[in-house]
Every structure is written in structure tokens, then in C-alpha cells.
């Protein structure tokens, strides 16, 4: 009787573990550099920012094979702002109102904003902080391609 109970317990645990593993495989893929939606980070002005939802991606292939320069260029306004930094594309529309540098972020909408991000010509002239880089990853939507 004891062997039968032990055997059934092991089978039960195996079924649970397999179910948990399958559930983990069905979750969203990891974001670059380990960043995830809902992770609170402190930005340059000491304010904590917590992006709570995935950016809506319109007009980009589901497989995220690549976002063309011409597609990037169409997202060039306060109401629809995508920018590219080091070949990665970010939808920062939801962050514009929280940007510590105010309107400066709008210069990068629809463009390769790598130089702007690394030099902050309207601000300190220094590259953005590590916290800013972590926050940026939460807005990642794909790569130029």
C-alpha cells in the first residue's frame, strides 16, 4: 500500500511540474537586457516610472523581423513617437509626458536618435544614465531591419 501511495504521489508531482513548465513556455518572450513591463525604475529627476502595459504595435509584422526606416519615420509626433537607438526601436509615446528633459525627446521621434540619446545636446551633454537605459528597454518593440 505504501509503495502504491508513493508511486501515485510521484506521478501527481510529475504532472504538476509538466503543467507548470508548459505554462511558462506560453508566456511572453523575455525583453532585452532582462527588462520587463511593470518594473519600476528611477529616472534622472528621481521620479519613479513604472510602464504597465505593452506598447501597441500597428503596421509591424507580428514576428518582429524588422522595422524599416520608412515605417519608423511615420511615427514622428507627440501622439505617436517611435525612435531608434543603436538599431533597436522603441515606442516612447507613453513616456513623453514623464521625460525629465521635457520636449527634448520629441527631436528623436521617427528617427535614429542614437546620437541624441548618447549626447543629450539640449541637456547636460552627457549620455543618459543606466536607469534611463533600463527604462528605455521597457518600450522596446523591435529592431531596424
Mapping DSSP onto H, E and C, the string for the chain reads CHHHHHHHHHHHHHHHHHHHHHHHHCCCCCCHHHCCCCCCEECCCCCEECCCCCCCCCCCCCCCCCECHHHHHCCEECCEEEEEECCEEEECHHHHHHCCCHHHHHHHCCCECHHHHHHCCCCCCCCCCHHHHHHHHCCEEEEEC
For the cut 50, the answer to whether the pLDDT of residue 55 exceeds it is: no
118: confidence class by pLDDT, cuts 50, 70, 90: very high
Structural domain boundaries in the chain? 38-143
The CATH class for the domain spanning 38-143 reads alpha beta
Residues of the chain with pLDDT > 90, as a percent, come to: 45
Chain mean pLDDT for the chain: 75
For the cut 50, the answer to whether the pLDDT of residue 116 exceeds it is: yes
pLDDT value of residue 65:
64
For the cut 90, the answer to whether the pLDDT of residue 59 exceeds it is: no
The answer, as to whether pTM is greater than 0.85, is no
For 18-38, what is the mean pLDDT? 48
Amino acid at each position: 500500500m505504501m509503495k502504491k501511495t508513493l508511486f501515485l504521489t510521484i506521478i501527481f508531482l510529475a504532472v504538476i511540474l509538466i503543467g507548470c513548465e508548459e505554462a511558462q513556455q506560453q508566456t511572453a518572450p523575455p525583453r532585452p537586457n532582462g527588462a520587463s513591463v511593470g518594473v519600476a525604475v528611477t529616472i534622472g529627476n528621481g521620479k519613479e516610472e513604472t510602464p504597465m502595459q505593452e506598447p501597441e504595435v500597428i503596421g509591424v509584422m507580428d514576428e518582429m523581423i524588422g522595422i524599416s526606416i520608412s515605417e519608423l519615420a511615420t511615427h514622428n509626433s507627440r501622439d505617436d513617437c517611435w525612435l531608434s537607438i543603436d538599431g533597436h526601436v522603441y515606442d516612447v509615446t507613453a513616456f513623453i509626458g514623464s521625460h525629465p528633459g521635457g520636449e527634448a525627446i520629441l527631436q528623436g521621434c521617427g528617427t535614429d536618435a542614437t546620437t541624441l540619446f548618447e549626447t543629450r545636446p539640449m541637456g547636460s551633454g552627457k549620455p543618459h544614465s543606466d536607469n534611463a537605459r533600463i527604462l528605455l528597454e521597457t518600450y522596446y518593440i523591435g529592431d531596424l531591419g
